Amino acid sequence: MSKHTITITLKNGKALPRPAKQQLKIGDTVVYVTDPPDRPFKVVFRPSPFTGKGSRVIRDSEPRKVSQQGTFRCKCFITGRSGREVGWRPDAPQSGGEHDVKP
């Protein structure tokens, strides 16, 4: 199984996940981090490739094991130094990402 790190970057008022599209397999581990480091963030899935408590709204960098097959879209948000949260909106879809999970 592989470990993947997805970095949510604050750039030009947007929360940009890198990579935006991630190929995963069931059993892989995913960790979310921020750039700049240690900024509050959230990644919102509906539905989620993960199971268990906190699987739909992720707010920490704890490793999560992929347990669901399919294509999962997420909305990303990050809080800047000003304390203002920025992220996905209909006019800022680049603040979202996609996890494509295979068996």
Condensed to tens digits (0 to 9), the pLDDT of residues 38-88 reads 999 999 999 999 998 778 999 999 999 999 999 999 999 999 989 999 999
User: Which one, of 100, 97, 90, lies nearest residue 8 by Cα?
Assistant: 97
Which is more confident, 2 or 91? Answer: 2
The enclosing domain of 64 has a CATH number of 2.60.40.420
Q: Note the pLDDT of residue 66.
A: 97
DSSP class of residue 5? E
User: Which one, of 65, 60, 11, 67, lies nearest residue 32 by Cα?
Assistant: 60
- Domain residues for 86? 3-102
Report yes or no: 9 and 85 within 8 Å, Cβ to Cβ. Answer: no
- Using alpha carbons only, what angle is made at residue 54 by residues 51 and 56, rounded to the nearest 5 degrees? 70
pTM of the model: 0.93
Q: pLDDT confidence of 7, banded at 50, 70, 90?
A: very high
Q: Note the pLDDT of residue 85.
A: 96
Total domains in the fold of the chain = 1
Q: pLDDT confidence of 3, banded at 50, 70, 90?
A: very high
